[in-house]
Amino acid sequence: MNRILPLLSLLLCLSASGAELLPVPRCDTPADGTFLLDGSVTLCCETALEPLARYVTAYVPLRRTASRCPADRCMVLRTDEALAPEAYVLRIAPGRVEIAGGAYGGVFNGVQTLFQLLPDDVYAGRLRLPVRLDCRTVEDGPRFGYRGMMLDVARTWIDLPHVKRYIDLLAYHKINKLHFHLADDEGWRIEIRSHPELTAIGAWRGGDSPIRAVYGRWDEKYGGYYTQDELRELVAYAAVRNIEIIPEIDLPGHSRAIAHVRPEILCAYRPDTGPSGGYDERNVWCAAREENYALLEDILSEVCAIFPSPYIHIGGDEVETAQWRRCPDCMALMKRRGMSAPEQLQDYFMERLAGILRDHGKLPAVWDEASQRGKLTHDARVHGWQSVGTCLAATAKGYRTVVMPGAWFYFDMRQSPEEDGHVWAAIFDAEKTRGFDFAAQGFTPAQMARVEGVEATFFSEIYLSHGPESPAYLDYMCFPRLCALAELGWSGEGGDAAGFRSRLTAAHNDRMAAMNIGFRLFPPEVTYRDGVLHVVTDDGSVVRFTEDGVSAPDASAPVWKGPLHTDEPHRYLFRSFYKTGRSPVVAHASHYRTVSPAFTLSSSMPATERNPFSRAESYKGHARTRRAPRPGDWVLYTFPKPLVCREITIRTGYEHLPKANITAGNVEVSCDGRTFVPAGTLEDGCLTLRPERPLRAVRIVSTCEGNGCSFVVLPAPIVKPLL
C-alpha cells in the first residue's frame, strides 16, 4: 500500500474539528453545511440491522422507518464489507446521515459517535427534535478487538435491571465485552437446572444459610441469582448493544459457596475448624475426585448452552494448593502422574475443564496463574491481572492475553489515599488508567500481536458496605476510570491521552450526567500559604465547604468563595459538585496529619502469636485475636501519658472492609484510668471521639455474638493532634 496515503489522512485528521468525542476517533473531518434532524427523517437499514434501528429509535424519536432509503432526508444504517468489523464511517451531509460499519458492531459504534454529537438529553431519553448537526465525516475503528469490563455479582448481588443499566453504560463507551463473575466464595448466581440446589442454597449467605457471610451483612440472609431465562434475556440485551457476555465460574479455588452446597467436592481430609468456630473455610475442588468432573460437566454444559460467547472463563486464580497437599487422593494422583508440585494439579484440573469446554465447542479463558507453567492449552485466553509481568509472561508464552493488571485496571482500588476502596494493587485515578503505555511497560511488537485488548474489573466485596441496592458507589468507582479504559482500548496509548481530562470537562461530564451516573470529579487542589487557604478546580464545578473539621460537605453546604485568611486550615473540608458528579472530600494536608502516641492494648480475647498486641502498639501492623467476639468481650487501650488530641478513631477490623471487626459494641472512656463513662457505640466496628479532656483509657465492650469471621483485627487508634 502507498505509504503516503495514511500519512496524508493523518494530516487531514490533524485539522479535524474538536467535537470532544470520547473515545477520540481516528479521524474527524468537518464539512460545510448542516443536517436538520427532525421528524421527517426516515431511518433505514438492512434487515440484519433492524434490532439496531429499534435501539436508535428508543433514543432518537424518529417515527419513519424503511428498509429502502429515500433519496433525501434519511438516516442510513448499513454494513460495508470493506471496513473492519468494528470500524465505521459516519458521514453527516446536508441531505442525509449515513453510518456504515464493517459489521453490526461497527454500525453500533458509529451510532454511539452520533449520540455524542446530539444534545446530551439523548442519554436521558429526552431528546427533542429538531436538532441541527454540523456536517462532518468520522472515520474510525478500535485499537483493540477486546475492550472489556468485569462485574463481580458474586460478592455483591446485583439484580437484572442494574446489570442492564451497567451494560447500557458500557455500550455508550464502545466497550464490547462484559466479563460476568458469576460464582465465587460468597455466592453462586447462575441457575443450573440439573442441580437446583446450587442456587436454592448457594445463592444465599448469612442468617440461616450454611454459607457464612464474610463481608457486610453477615448475620442476615443475603443474596440472589439469575434464572437461565433471565440470563438469555441479558445475553440478547447485551448483543443488541454490541456486547458479548463472557461468563465466569471461578474454579477450582474461590468455590466455598458451592462447597457448602456439595461438601463432597472438597478434598478428603478433616479440616481444622477450631479457629473458625466450627466452620469449614475450604474452597478448592478436589482434583482427584472423578465425580467432580462429572458435576463440572453438568454445570459447564448448561453454562455453554446459555452463553453464545466462544469463551467461557473458568477462573484459575488464587488456588490454595495447600488443600491438595493435605489430601491423600490428590497426593496419590500426583504420584501416579509423576508430578512434583501441587501446582501441576492445577494444570491437570484446568486441562480437564478445557476438555469439557472443547466438547461443547468452547474455549477456556483463565486468570493468569493458570497459564503460569505454560501447560494450559494454547487456545486459552489469559486475563493478566496480577501485574504487568504476568501479562508479559503470558504473551511471551504465546497466549492471547487480555491486559488488566490491578494497578491500572482494578476499579475497586482507591482513587486517592483518603477515599474508600482497596489498596493492595495501587491507589490510582482515571488519568493513570488512560496513561497505560504498552511500549513503556516492555511489550515488544511480537507480544503486542498477542494482546487482545484491555479490561477493567470491579470486584465487589467493598460495594456491600455502600449499600448494594444503590449504584452510587459502583458509579463513583468506575467513572471516569471506565471512560479512560474505553479510550485506551479504542484509541490506544497515544490518541491524545493527555487531552483525556479536558475532554471530560468539555463534554463528557455532561454526557455522564445525562446518563445519570454518579461520577467522580478530580479533587480540588487545596493549598495554604502565608496564612491564606486557596482552593482551585479546573472543571467548572462548584466547590462547597464545611468548617467544623468533621462533616463532609454535601450539596447544600455553602459555596466556597475564598481565598480565606485562617490560622486553622485543618478545619476546612471541601468537595466539588458538577451535576451528578462529585469529587472526594479534600482538605489541606494539616487536616490529615496524625500522631502515634504510646499506648498498650489488652483484651479478653487472646491475640495470635503472629499478630500479637505489640504489633498494633508499635504501629507496625495490627493485632489479631484468636477467636471471634462474644457479648462482654472487651478491648482496652490505655495511654501511659494522658492523651490530648482533637480526634481519636478507635477502629476494629480492616480499614477498608467490613470484615473481622467487632460488629456491635459500646465504647467507654476514662480520664483517670479507673472509672469509665459511655462515649458511644461502634458503627461498622469504629467510633471517632473528640475528647474534651485528656484520656487515660478507651474501652470497647462487645455486644455481638460472633462477627462472621474467626478473628478480630485490632489496629492502632488513629489520633489527630491539636493544632
Binding site for Zn ion (CB under 5 A): 267, 286, 288, 327, 329-330
- 201 φ, ψ to 5°? -105, -50
Q: Report in angstroms how near the CB of residue 119 gets to ligand ACM at its nearest.
A: 40
| CA 239 to each of CA 51, 178, 232, 530: distance values in angstroms, whole numbers, following the listed order | 10, 11, 10, 59
Q: Which is nearer to ligand ACM, 187 or 518 (CB)?
A: 187
Residues 6+ apart with CB under 8 A from 394: 368, 371, 382, 384, 401, 450
Q: Report in angstroms how near the CB of residue 187 gets to ligand ACM at its nearest.
A: 16
Does the footprint of ligand ACM cover residue 476 (CB under 6 A)?
A: no
The answer to whether the beta carbons of residues 723 and 662 sit under 8 Å apart is no
Q: Which is nearer to ligand ACM, 281 or 317 (CB)?
A: 317
Residue in the shown chain whose Cβ atom is closest to ligand ACM: 317
DSSP 220-278: S-EE--B-HHHHHHHHHHHHHTT-EEEEEEEESSS-HHHHHH-GGGS-SS----TTTTT
Q: Which is nearer to ligand ACM, 43 or 312 (CB)?
A: 312
Cα–Cα distance, 34 to 40 (Å, whole number): 16
Residue type, 104: Y
The contact mask relative to ligand ACM for 670-699 (x = CB under 6 A, - = no) is ------------------------------
> Residue 330: which of ligand ACM, Zn ion, none does it interact with, CB under 5 to 8 A by kind?
Zn ion
The contact mask relative to ligand ACM for 346-365 (x = CB under 6 A, - = no) is --------------------
**Cis peptide preceding 597, ω within 30 of 0:** no
Q: Report in angstroms how near the CB of residue 407 gets to ligand ACM at its nearest.
A: 12
Cα–Cα distance, 596 to 618 (Å, whole number): 9
Q: Report in angstroms how near the CB of residue 318 gets to ligand ACM at its nearest.
A: 5
Q: Where are the alpha helices (DSSP H) in 337-471?
A: 343-359, 388-396, 406-409, 430-434, 445-448
Q: Which is nearer to ligand ACM, 413 or 704 (CB)?
A: 413
Burial of 639 (0-12, 13-18, 19+ CB in 10 A): buried
| CA 416 to each of CA 211, 422, 426, 586: distance values in angstroms, whole numbers, following the listed order | 34, 11, 10, 10
> Residue 286: which of Zn ion, ligand ACM, none does it interact with, CB under 5 to 8 A by kind?
Zn ion
Q: Report in angstroms how near the CB of residue 426 gets to Zn ion at its nearest.
A: 36
Torsion angle of C-alpha atoms 398, 402, 406, 410, degrees rounded to 10:
-170
Least Cα distance to 372 among 385, 362, 358 occurs for 385
Residues 6+ apart with CB under 8 A from 15: 29
Q: Report in angstroms how near the CB of residue 349 gets to Zn ion at its nearest.
A: 10
Residues 6+ apart with CB under 8 A from 236: none
> Residue 431: which of Zn ion, ligand ACM, none does it interact with, CB under 5 to 8 A by kind?
none
Does the footprint of ligand ACM cover residue 115 (CB under 6 A)?
A: no
The contact mask relative to ligand ACM for 272-311 (x = CB under 6 A, - = no) is ----------------------------------------
Q: Report in angstroms how near the CB of residue 238 gets to ligand ACM at its nearest.
A: 22
Number of neighbouring beta carbons within 10 Å of residue 29: 17
Q: Which is nearer to ligand ACM, 86 or 369 (CB)?
A: 369
The answer to whether the beta carbons of residues 489 and 147 sit under 8 Å apart is yes
C-alpha cell at 230: 433471565
Q: Which is nearer to Zn ion, 288 or 695 (CB)?
A: 288
DSSP 346-373: HHHHHHHHHHHHHHTT-EEEEEGGGGTT
Q: Which is nearer to ligand ACM, 73 or 656 (CB)?
A: 656
Q: Which is nearer to Zn ion, 349 or 399 (CB)?
A: 349
Helix/strand/coil for 525: strand
Binning the chain into helix, strand and coil, the percentages to the nearest 5 are 30, 25, 45
| CA 195 to each of CA 25, 154, 200, 211, 297: distance values in angstroms, whole numbers, following the listed order | 48, 18, 9, 17, 12
C-alpha cell at 225: 441469582
Q: Which is nearer to ligand ACM, 76 or 284 (CB)?
A: 284
- Looking at 204, 367, 476, 577, which residue binds ligand ACM (CB under 6 A)? 367
β-sheet with 88-92: strand ranges across? 27-37, 131-140, 88-92, 96-101, 74-79, 42-45, 64-66
- Looking at 35, 180, 226, 385, which residue binds ligand ACM (CB under 6 A)? 385
- 698 φ, ψ to 5°? -130, 135
Does the footprint of ligand ACM cover residue 411 (CB under 6 A)?
A: no
Distance of CA 549 to the CA centre of its chain: 31
Q: Which is nearer to ligand ACM, 250 or 302 (CB)?
A: 250
Q: Report in angstroms how near the CB of residue 317 gets to ligand ACM at its nearest.
A: 4
> Residue 418: which of Zn ion, ligand ACM, none does it interact with, CB under 5 to 8 A by kind?
none
Q: Report in angstroms how near the CB of residue 432 gets to Zn ion at its nearest.
A: 41
Q: Report in angstroms how near the CB of residue 458 gets to ligand ACM at its nearest.
A: 11
> Residue 385: which of ligand ACM, Zn ion, none does it interact with, CB under 5 to 8 A by kind?
ligand ACM
Q: Which is nearer to ligand ACM, 226 or 367 (CB)?
A: 367
> Residue 317: which of Zn ion, ligand ACM, none does it interact with, CB under 5 to 8 A by kind?
ligand ACM
Cα–Cα distance, 300 to 314 (Å, whole number): 9
> Residue 318: which of Zn ion, ligand ACM, none does it interact with, CB under 5 to 8 A by kind?
ligand ACM
Q: Which is nearer to ligand ACM, 206 or 406 (CB)?
A: 406
Q: Which is nearer to ligand ACM, 151 or 515 (CB)?
A: 151
Q: Report in angstroms how near the CB of residue 316 gets to ligand ACM at its nearest.
A: 9
> Residue 329: which of Zn ion, ligand ACM, none does it interact with, CB under 5 to 8 A by kind?
Zn ion
Does the footprint of ligand ACM cover residue 317 (CB under 6 A)?
A: yes
Q: Which is nearer to Zn ion, 267 or 657 (CB)?
A: 267
Q: Report in angstroms how near the CB of residue 637 gets to ligand ACM at its nearest.
A: 35
Size of residue set near ligand ACM by CB under 6 A: 4
Q: Report in angstroms how near the CB of residue 325 gets to ligand ACM at its nearest.
A: 21
Does the footprint of ligand ACM cover residue 318 (CB under 6 A)?
A: yes
Q: Which is nearer to ligand ACM, 292 or 460 (CB)?
A: 460
Residues 6+ apart with CB under 8 A from 300: 249, 312, 314, 353, 356, 357, 360
> Residue 267: which of ligand ACM, Zn ion, none does it interact with, CB under 5 to 8 A by kind?
Zn ion
The size of the chain, in residues, is: 723
* Residue matched to cell numbers 456491600: 464
Q: Report in angstroms how near the CB of residue 457 gets to ligand ACM at its nearest.
A: 7
Cα–Cα distance, 71 to 592 (Å, whole number): 66
Give the CA count within 13 Å in the CB-facing half-sphere of 685.
26
Q: Report in angstroms how near the CB of residue 288 gets to Zn ion at its nearest.
A: 5
Residues within the interface to ligand ACM (CB under 6 A): 317-318, 367, 385
